[in-house]
Structures are given as C-alpha cells and as structure tokens.
Structure 1
Amino acid sequence: MNHQPVEATTAQSFLPKVSVVIPIYNGEADLPDLLSCLLLQTYPKDQVEYLLVDNNSSDRTLPILQTTAENSPITIRLLSENKIQSSYAARNTGIKAATGEIIAFTDADCRPQPQWLNKLIRPFINSAVVIVAGEIVALPGKSLLEQFADKQETLSQKHTLAHKFCPYGQTANLAIRRQVFTKSGLFRPYLTTGGDADICWRILKANLGKLEFAADAIVQHRHRLTIKELASQWRRYGRSNRYLHELHHIELTREMKTKEYGYILLRWLLKEVPRESIKNIIGKAGFVDFLNTPLGLFTGRERSIGQREAKLPENAHIIEWL
C-alpha cells in the first residue's frame, strides 16, 4: 500500500478561507468567460467567496453581476466603488468586505485556470509567506502583435519578480495574507498604475514576510490586438515607472537618443533581416521574427513617452487602512 508523504498530505489539507477580489470596469464582454472560470475552480466552494467590485461601469456590467450573484452555485458578493475611478480603490473596497484569511486578486479580462486557487494558496502553508504571485500566460492569439508579445513573454511575472529594486507580483495573479494589510495599509486608492509594485514593496521593505512564486498557479490574459492598444499598454508601463520613482526612488528607464534608434534600425536592415530571411526559407522563423526589433523599439519609445509625460497626482500619496 502506497502512502503519500506527510508534507503532501498536509499541503492538500491546507484549505484556508479565501476571498477573491476582482475589480470590474465596463467588463460586460469579459464577464461570461470570467464567470465560467470561477465556476470551474477546484478549490472547495464553501471555502471561497468571490467579491466582484463594480467601479462605476457605464455598460451592462452591474445588471449582469446582479443576476449572476442571485443565481450562482458559488458565493458571489457584488460590491460597488463609485467614489474613486481606480482599480486599486475597487480592490480596497473588496479587501474591506472580505472575510477570508487569504485575499486573492485577478482581473475581469483574465481567465484563471481550474487549479488556480489550489496552487496559489498552497505556499501560504508556510506562515512566513505573506505574498504569493502566480504566473500569467497569454490566451491563444494569431495576430502579429499577439505573437510578438507572446514571444517577448510580456505578461509573465518573471519580469516583475526579477525587478532590481525589489520583486513584486502583478495583481492579475496575486494573493496576500489579509492580516498583513493591518500593518502595511491597503492599496493607494488614487494611484492609476503601479499599485501592485507599491503594495508588495511596502510589505517586503517593512520585513512583514516573504514573497513566493507559484509557477503552476496560472491565469491567462489577452494580449493587445492593435498598435493603439499596444502603445497605451507601454505608455502605462512608463507612467508606472515614473510614479514608482516618485514614491520609492527607483531608477527611471534611460531614454534612447534618436541616433541610437537609427543605428539599431540600420543594423536590423543589414544583419537581422537577411538572417531571418534565411531562417524563414528553411522554416525556422516566422514573419514576427522580422519585426521583433522595430516593434521592440516602438514599445520602448512609448514607454519613454509615458515616463516623460507622467506626473504623480498629489493624492496618490494617500494610503487607505483597514
């Protein structure tokens, strides 16, 4: 007769109450797939509540959520945050209403896989762990921009977990022990980007506990489909960098000069295009490989613009408390 190791048995029996907080703004199109993913979670239904926080949506988000909450086999609690237009303010509303020992976060345009919560919660069996980041992978996409972002692994937590100032996890796939908020405070409600780094850094820099990465706790997320959406995404990354520079004194990203862009494009034309052409002929490269360099320059430029033009709002210094 085979016996499981004690550690494995203990991990499987570790099932604390979890509150999943999801801010939603004009999420009508995303709700059917999101709700399907929540229904498929394998975490015990009586140990999890889903707090869906409407952030002043102007579409049919609110009536859809009301109908869903009334007729769902899982515990869905509908909340509203109409005073401050910010996903972080909406998350704070969820945290304050939560009854779980662990608070997990994802977004309306994310697709948590069935084992997501089981895998994300498991590292908390170690009482020293106060933050767990799961992995973010792309939903299948066929467009050129989706292929480019997929090749760059733009959404992966490995980039933020390797941040040279201090690691952090993105709120698309993150869990935090509720108790730690009493010492760190909640999200900055008036911040519009960078709040995930800010909350993680405040917790870690205050030595309130450890961060763990749960690579098998997977949430899928859609890449941007248009150049306009891609530009907006990378300008937001730039704004985030500026805000975190003001709040935590991290280094700003160095801006490239015009002649540097010219040199890289020339090298691309003379070296990379011929090389990738040969690879394409023998079937070892696709069209996206040709455009890797110019698209990388484009996203870098947009991030620089976002960083240069951003100005941290005065009230972004405010921290809410439980």
Structure 2
Amino acid sequence: MNVSDSAQTNTSTKFFPRISVVIPIYNGESDLSELISCLLAQTYPKKLVEYLLVDNNSSDRTFSFLETAAEHCPIEIHPLSENQIQSSYAARNKGIQAAGGEFIVFTDADCRPQPRWLELLIQPFMRSEVAIVAGEITAFPEKNLLAKFADRQETLSQKHTLTHPFCAYGQTANLAIRRTILEKSGLFRPYLTTGGDADICWRILKQNLGTLEFVSDAIVRHRHRTSIRELASQWRRYGRSNRYLHELHGVDLMREIPNKEYYYRLTRWLLKEIPQQSIKILTTKSSVVDLLNTPIGLFTARIRYSGQKEAKLPENAKIIQCLDS
C-alpha cells in the first residue's frame, strides 16, 4: 500500500491513453458554466477524453444544461441521469458503467480543475502497478472568516486522507482509478451517502490490487464553507462517514471531548488566548482567524462527534455494485 508523490513525473513521454471523466451533479445548474470552461481548458488531447456528467435527480435545470452543452461544446460530453438512487456514488457508478476509457477520473461539479489537471494526473499510470492516483485539492482565496479558518487547517487537502491512520485514500474530488482494477474490486457502494471514496480505495489497497500515487501538481480548486450552517453540515457528514467506515472497515471512532476538557479549553481561550491574540492583532503579528481558532475547532469537533453518534449504516449501504462486462 505505497503512497508516493509523483509531482515531478516527466510528461515529455506523452502518455495519453483514452480516459473517462465522471462527474456527479445534483442541482448544479449554477456551477456548470464555470465547470465546462475548466474542462474546455484542459491540456489533455480533447479527442482522448470523454466527460460523463451524471445528473442525480436534480430539481433545477441541470440536465437541460448538460444536453445543451453536449450539443454545442467542442469536447465530448455525455449527459447521463441517475434518478433511482439519491447518492453521488450511485451517480458515479452510472458514469463508470457507460465509460469507455482505460482510466476513470473523478471530480465534482463545484470543483474547478486547473488546465494541466488531467495531463498530470494520468502520468503515474504509465507504471502498471499503479491502481489509484490522487491529485491535490486547494481552496479559492476567501475573505470569509470561516473559509480562512478552513484554509489555515487545509481542510480540503488530500494530505489528511493520504496520511489516514487506518489506510491512505484519495477524495473523489480529484481521483483516478484504473478501469481493470474496478473490474476486480467492484464499484462504489451505491446506497452509501458519505465515505465512499475511502471505502473504494481501501478495498483496492487492502486486496493488494495496486498502489496509490499522489500528484501534488494535478490540482482542482474548491470553495470552503462560508456559513455556520454549511460548516456544521460538512463536519456532521465527516462524523457520519467515520461511523460508516467503522462498521465497514473497523476504523477507530472519534472520541468525544469530555465536558470538563471542553469548558477548560473554552475558559483558557477566554482568559488567556483572547488577550494574547488581541495584542498580536494590534501589532499585525496575528489575525482574527487566529483569535477564533479554538472556538471554531471545538465547534467542529462537537458537530463531528454528534454526526458520528447519530449515524447508523443502512443495511443496503453494504452492497457493492459490480462493473458490467
């Protein structure tokens, strides 16, 4: 289960196999124009890429937008629908089943792949032992305090998932998998609603089907959450994911912060950190983000634990879909 950084891969070898990019979309009408622009800007040979954009039962005009894009864009776009199962993993499976590429690449509708994303991401597959390649996820510059906090923590970065104490994995916002590997491991669990990226990577790596490589220069950009409600939803989902992966793979559960420790850290923040950070802010040696680090961190930890505690893995989420021959 090797994980290495292939950022310096020499692309002069011009390894350009046929690839399929699968993107699940739910109510993504407002994101699609920018997304398509990013796909148009890819340096990968256009005739060797197909984009399978899968509408997951949206209530907006996502699918009609996809049909229009497929008709008028100079890249190969296939609009698909997954209306039976409300899950991004079911939508990804729909795209994989329709894909004709040797390698399947994943990102999301609200991501913004940078121009050399595909070109760089695919290069490690030149080595036959490579099963999975993950690229980096970086944030857009934000003025919002919550977004700045998340950026300081590098919340989106693959470096957290690639160093997961149980086993490394890559997030589907920027991930590629060899098609022949999916024939052996199976696809995503279609009824799983979170944690599916870790699950599929772990199934591949634990079965010793190949290695995982990281390409730090293959970048997609993503936006941080900018409201308390969005932040809470994000960290509650992280908690649910942890519970599901505990039941599927035996991952350690996150511990709850005892009330005594919680209030001690909060009091310490009020009595010690606020005065110290306030002085640093006045002397421009610190920022408001540093001042709020402790309370936001405590908030997200509690929300994540709450999500973990409340979650229960549905029985049908254990189903692994197979790749049709």
**TM-score of the aligned structures, taking structure 1 as reference length:** 0.96
- SS for the counterpart of 2:132 is strand
Give the whole-Å Cα distance in 1 for the aligned partners of 2:136 and 2:274.
Answer: 33
Partner of 2:234: 233
Partner SS, residue 164 of structure 1? coil
User: 1:66-145 to 2 correspondence within 5 Å?
Assistant: 66-145=67-146
Q: 1:227 to 1:126 in 2, by over 3 A?
A: same
Match of 1:33 in 2: 34
Deviations 1:155-191 (A, max 9, x none): 0000000001000000000000011011100000000
Cα offsets for 1:226-253 (capped at 9, x unmatched): 1000000000000000000000011000
Retained in 2: the 8 A contact 1:133–1:175?
A: yes
Closer, same or farther: CA 9–209 of 1 in aligned 2, 3 Å = closer
Per-residue CA deviations over 1:10-52 (Å, capped at 9, x if unaligned) read 7532111110000001001111111110000000001111000
Alignment of 1:273-312 (within 5 A): 273-312=274-313
Conserved 8 A contact 2:20-2:49: yes
Show structure 2 runs of 5+ residues with no match.
1-7
Q: Write out per-residue CA displacement over residues 50-82 of structure 1, whole angstroms, 9 at most, x where no aligned residue.
A: 000011111010111110101110000111111
Corresponding residue of 2:161: 160
Alignment partner of 2:269: what SS? helix
- Whichever residue aligns with residue 268 of structure 1, its letter is W
Structure 1 residue 97: Cα displacement: 0.6
Q: Percent identity?
A: 71
- Per-residue CA deviations over 1:252-291 (Å, capped at 9, x if unaligned) read 0011111111011111122222221222121121111100
1:100-138: CA deviations, max 9, x gaps? 111000000000000100111111111111100100011
Q: Does residue 180 of structure 1 match 2:156?
A: no
Q: Specify the alignment match of 2:152 in structure 1.
A: 151
Name the CA distance, whole Å, in 1 between partners of 2:60 and 2:72: 21
Write the letter of the residue equivalent to 1:202: R
Query: Which residue number in structure 1 is paired with residue 197 of structure 2?
Result: 196
Matched, 1:171 2:154: no
Letter in 2 for 1:53: V
In structure 2, what is the equivalent of residue 4 of structure 1? Answer: none
Per the alignment, residue 264 of structure 1 pairs with 265
Structure 1 partner of 2:315: 314
Q: Compared with structure 1, are the counterparts of its residues 315 and 43 closer, same or farther at alpha carbon in structure 2 (3 Å cutoff)? A: same
Which of the pair has the greater relative contact order for Cα pairs under 8 Å at 6+ separation? 2
Separation (CA, whole Å) in 2 of partners of 1:221 and 1:63:
24
Q: Contact 1:11–1:125 (CA<8 Å) still a contact in 2?
A: no
Residues 123 and 132, structure 1, Cα contact 8 Å, conserved in 2: yes
Cα drift, residue 9 of structure 1: 6.7
The answer to whether the 8 Å contact 1:134/1:215 transfers is yes
Mapped to 1, the partners of 2:288 and 2:76 lie a distance apart of: 46
| Kept after mapping to 1: 8 A contact 2:88/2:193 | yes
Give the structure-2-normalised TM-score: 0.95
**Which residue does 2:3 correspond to in 1?**
none
SS at match of 1:266: helix
Q: What CA distance in whole angstroms lies between the structure 2 residues aligned with 1:9 and 1:248? A: 36
Maintained 8 Å contact 1:102/1:177: yes
Query: Are the counterparts in 2 of residues 11 and 122 from structure 1 also a CA contact under 8 Å?
Result: no
Superposition RMSD in Å:
1.2
Which residue of structure 1 lines up, in the alignment, with residue 53 of structure 2?
52
Letter of the aligned partner of 1:164 in structure 2?
P
Structure 1 residue 8: Cα displacement: 7.2
In the alignment, the residues of structure 1 paired with residue 13 and residue 73 of structure 2 have an alpha-carbon distance, to the nearest angstrom, of 26
Corresponding pairs, count? 316
Query: Which amino acid letter does the alignment assign opposite residue 269 of structure 2?
Result: W
SS, match of residue 219 in structure 1: strand
Q: Secondary structure at the match of 1:197?
A: helix
